[in-house]
Structure 1
């Protein structure tokens, strides 16, 4: 039996890769002064009806629970953030710099770069209306990608502004109810033939494509690009009016990150959503943020060879020479674990040769030979890479493992594993 379409199994090596990404997300967010929050996987469907737009509602996993409530599995976390902040915003000093790494769900066609579930890094600043907040979140996005070793030749953040398009709509007398559909068409420009976009835009196609192709100065975007330039990040960002973001709640700055070669979907995207809390019945509060999924980022890092995630390996493997020694060996294992070491050992009787092979297979840094000397309060410690060994007292094992021994204190190289001279193998 396979998992459902668009869902993933995470085998240990897959989980190690995923956790390396999530760990980097947390590290970079905290470096920028953000604190972590989370919310429930299930929310009232009404939360997304008020805020996310028709496209998201079409993709929501939803059901009616036993209490008759319409429930949705979260397709994103920004509405949850808005709900939480609305409820307790007076308890926190502004601005809020919050981040979260939820698993989110959307029922859409599974394809490369887009699944029906993914982990998403969301970073938001709430209660700050200055453009410096916009610059801060874009800089964080850029620095996260740079931290993986990606350069300006690998990715770019395209910056635009919904306010620019609002002025365009006023000039061309576009009604409010028509605007969301136009944004949807502009958002899909690079993903569908130009003729299809022109058909969707109708008489507005010519002026819209002229603006996109020729560009036009817009002071709010110019300030963001200048702010990034002051941080030495100008090579990573550019103006691009094709970026409008498909979600209905954006009000100002919008931006998306793409690989330079155009081989992948958007790596990340976000913008300013100053009206969202008010639309949910709260007090007005400016806000800006972005989301980045693990799927496209993971594909990009694999393609570029920028992230090698190794499985965790034990610091110590205890080899038990004889079953009569097992009770004392297990006490040693437990003692080392209490000191904070990662320790593995054979769970059933096995020949020492097989145990040494297991120690190598799991990548243990050290192996301890628990033989007759253990009853005398001593144990042989072996460095698995150098094959050097040393006999130490039980009281000295912890210090030796933490700091290592001086070169002169190690014995000579032990015989190869499985050779006749190997202790405990005869």
Structure 2
């Protein structure tokens, strides 16, 4: 029987002017090949954070030094960096992130939470200039920026009280010139190539990840339900305990139980973790869109429950909405997914056959989503749902889903 799959990360040291290691940049690696082989940078950014904290453990990767972690635009806006300890992390914004109003507001929030911000592969491009107001560190690629080693270039940046990192330093001559130009930190093949680190990863099951996301997305999270879920999935429990027991989390007291561990972590970090571990692996190249769809359907169905005569079935309504996206997320038939899940019979019937009032509510939700207004009107009348209430519920559900996905 094959063992757990091997996962990879690379780290490259960043040296100070005395040639001491200042920190390590953590680099996503999807295979044993020591380079980024392309793909979705949003997924790479989020998976790198999740694996660094929960699969490898930040202590094992950087020890007591700083971790420099790349962040895409989406990962910044969804605050995935909050899985990382602010006092030990430098967030590197990728060069593809432009300083628009939404990004600048996210940078203000990142700084308010105590994180240091670095701009990766910085140039004098206009879209990068607004980000300088929030940056602590600027990283300059010597290969891409011909003027990088001129005193005029570095003096303009040092005038803004920024620490400067010379990247892609590949020769002794480049190192000496970067020192003379006033750079504070240095990184590149002259010192060493990125070091590959690997570990065996006992991955949580896809169904556990889906149930995890469903539970933490609810407005009232049940820690009893979460504890039962973690008890049934050894991999999720191991990742949780590894994270809480690391110096990154900063907790050094005895953890009495899985439930105690979940309470220590708290709802908001758990929701972030669920988003990263769940949708960013299950949904492939469209995690955010699927997340929004699932959460909107779940909340919409929950709000339609009382007028449809299901005021005491909010849990079943919410779960039905979440599971309605199972085929798209898991690439398996809905019937196969439900066979492996202990869901209430009314949920199973609603999803597979559309029967019962719960099934009728789901039909309204799905029809409204695709703009099938004749079906909406027909089923709405059958369920005695007011038309105005329907519109208000959909709008508020969509707003709630967007907020929850970014919370």
Whether TM-score is above 0.5 comes out as no
Query: Where is the strand percentage greater, Structure 1 or Structure 2?
Result: 1
Structure exhibiting the larger radius of gyration computed from Cα positions: 1
TM-score (norm 2): 0.26
TM-score (norm 1): 0.25
Query: Where is the helix percentage greater, Structure 1 or Structure 2?
Result: 2
